[in-house]
Amino acid sequence: MAEPVGKERSGPLSHIRVLDLGRIMAAPWATQMMADLGADVIKIERPEVGDDTRAWGPPFLKDRDGKATREAGYYLSVNRGKRSVTVDMATPDGQALLRQLAAGADVVIENFKAGALKRYGLDAATLRGLNPRLIYCSVTGFGQDGPRRDQAAYDFAIQAMGGLMSVTGERDDLAGGGPQKVGVPIVDLMTGMYAAVAILAALTRRAETGQGETIDLAMLDVASAFLANQAMNWLIGGRTPKRGGNRHPNIQPQDVFPCADGHLVLAVGNDGQFAKLCEALGRPEWASDPRFATNAARVGSNAVLTGLLAAEFARFPRSEITALLDAAGVPCAPINAVPQVFEDPQLKHRGMLRDLPHPLSGTVPQVVSPMRFETAALSFDRAPPLLGQHTREVLAELGITDEGFADLSTRGVL
C-alpha cells in the first residue's frame, strides 16, 4: 500500500500506488483516471526520449516566452497527475529498479507486445512472485493468446478490424459516403476505461481475499464489446449493420437536420417526445399518423418522415428552433465546434476546464475528470510531468542516495 507522497493526496484511491509502464494512449488513459482519483502514479519513461506522444505535435505547449516546448498537446491530454521517472529497462540496473518499485506498488499496468517484458524480468509472473498482492494489467492489441497475439496494433487499425468503421460514416451512395473513423481514438480511450474498471474490480477483490490478479485486456476484444446495439442488431436480426450517417438504426427521428443558419441534432427517444415535437412544429396530426405513431413505424417510414422534418426545420434559425424544442421537452442540440464546447455555461459551472500550474508555461489547460464524489473530493494540482521530473524524488523513496543517483545517471540507467 502506498504511503502519502509530498502533499497528501485526496480522492478515493489516495491509498493506492500505480507503476505505469504504459505508453501512447490506452494504458496512460487508465492511469490518468486513477491519478485523478488520488492514486500515486509513477510513470516510467525512456531516458531522453520519453513517451512517444511527447513528440506527437504540433501543437506544443508554449513557455512563458512564447517558445514551443517539448510538451505536445497529445501527451498533455493523457498524463495529468503523474510523477515521471526515467529508467532504461533494457539495462540490468534499470530492471532491478523497476522490480523494486513493483514490489511496493499496488498496481502495474503495461502495454508492450505480448510477452515482451518477460525478457526483462518485468512480466506478471515475475513481479507477482515478488509481490503476491500486486494487480498486474497488460494491455495489448489482441491479447496474450490467439493467432494475432504477436501483432502490433494502433487505434485506427482496431477501429477498422473491430467493425466500428463499418457503421460510422455516410452511405456509399450519398455525398461524402464511405467508412469513417471516430474523431477521437475511441478504442484506446475505451480500452483505458475497461482497464481502469478491471483494476478497480481486482483491488476490491484483493481487499476481501488478499490476493493479487493478472488482467489480460485486448483492444480488439474491447472494440467488439462496445459494438453494443449494432452487434445485437446482427446477432438477433440477421442483417449486417450498415453505415447510415447520423441516422439511428433503431430509434427515429434521430438525425442531423439543416436549419436556416446551421445544423441541429434531433434525438427523439420515445412516442411521447415525438408527439411533443409534432405539437411544437404545428403538425400535431403527425403523432397519430399510422406511419409515425410508434417508433417501429417511424423506423420503417424514416425516409418520408425525414423529408417532412427537414422541410420544417429549414424554416427556422437554429437558435429559435432549439429554444422552441427545449421549451417543449424535445431532446435536441446544436453541433458545437470544440471552442464552443468549453464556452457552454453548464461546463463552465461544472469546472470541467481548469488551469494547472506548470513549470515551463506557468499554467497548462486541462479537461479534468467528470467524476464527482461527495466525501472524497478530487483535486487537480499536478500537471502532466516533464520528462524525468520526479526521478530523483522517487528513487530517494527507494533509499537511493545522491551518490547512487549520480552513478546511475552517469551509466545511462536514468
Summarised one tens digit per residue, pLDDT across range 308-348 is 999 999 999 999 999 999 999 999 999 999 999 999 999 99
Q: Are strands 353-358 and 60-62 parallel, antiparallel or unpaired?
A: unpaired
Q: How far apart are CA 330 and CA 273, in angstroms?
A: 6
Angle at 103 between CA 98 and CA 105, to 5 degrees: 90
Contacts of 279 (CB under 8 A, 6+ apart): 287, 328
- For domain 17-225+349-410, which CATH number applies: 3.40.50.300, 3.40.50.970, 3.40.50.10540, 1.10.10.10? 3.40.50.10540
How far apart (Å, rounded) are the C-alpha atoms in residues 163 and 241? 10
Query: pLDDT-based confidence at 7, cuts 50/70/90?
Result: low
* Cα separation, 319 vs 263, whole angstroms: 10
pLDDT score, position 9:
75
What's the average model confidence in pLDDT over 34-58?
97
The phi, psi pair for 110, rounded to 5°, reads: -145, 155
Q: Is the pLDDT of residue 6 over 50?
A: no
pLDDT tens figures, 206-250:
999 999 999 999 999 999 999 999 999 999 999 999 999 998 999
Those residues whose C-beta lies under 8 Å from the C-beta of residue 319, and which sit 6 or more positions away, are: none
Q: So what's the pLDDT on residue 10? A: 83
Buried b or exposed e, range 70-94, using 16+ CB within 10 angstroms: ebbebbbbbbbbbbbbbbbbebeeb
74-102 confidence digits (pLDDT tens)? 999 999 999 999 999 999 999 999 999 99
Percent of the chain scoring above 90 in pLDDT: 95
* CA-based end-to-end distance of the chain: 25
How far is the C-alpha of 210 from the C-alpha of 203, rounded, in Å? 9
**CA separation for the pair 98, 176 (Å, rounded):** 50
Helix/strand/coil (H/E/C) assignment for every residue in 93-143: HHHHHHHHHHHCCCEEEECCCCCHHHHHCCCHHHHHHHCCCCEEEEEECCC
- Does the annotation count 381 as an active-site position? no
- Eight-class DSSP state of 167: G
Backbone angles phi, psi at 15, to 5 degrees: -95, 5
- CATH 3.30.540.10, domain 254-340, yes or no: no
| Chain centroid, CA 144 distance in Å | 22
Mean pLDDT of the chain: 95
Q: Domain map of the chain by residue range?
A: 17-225+349-410, 254-340
Among 20, 155, 188, 221, the active-site one is 188
CA 118 to CA 81: how far, in whole Å?
29
The 10 Å CB-count burial string (b at 16+, else e) for 247-278 is bbbeebbbbebebeeeebebebeeeebbbbbb
Per residue in 357-384, pLDDT (tens digit) is: 999 999 999 999 999 999 999 989 999 9
Query: Has residue 307 got a pLDDT over 90?
Result: yes
CB within 8 A of 12, min separation 6: which ones?
A: 37, 38, 373, 376
* Tens of pLDDT, residues 121-148: 999 999 999 999 999 999 999 999 999 9
Residue 215's pLDDT is what?
Answer: 98
**Strand 68-72 versus strand 353-358 pairing type:** unpaired
* Range in 1-5, 17-21, 166-170, 235-239 the model is least confident about: 1-5
- Residue 12 predicted with pLDDT over 90: yes
Burial (CB count <10 Å: 0-12, 13-18, 19+), residue 392 = middle
Q: In terms of Cα–Cα distance, which of 18, 387, 11, 369 is closest to 195?
A: 18
Amino acid at 355: D
pLDDT in tens, 282-300: 999 999 999 999 999 999 9
Whether 25 and 53 have beta carbons less than 8 Å apart is answered as: yes
Contact yes or no for 127/134 (Cβ under 8 A): yes
70 Cβ neighbours under 8 A, 6+ residues apart: 54, 55, 60, 387
Looking up cell 481487499 gives 207
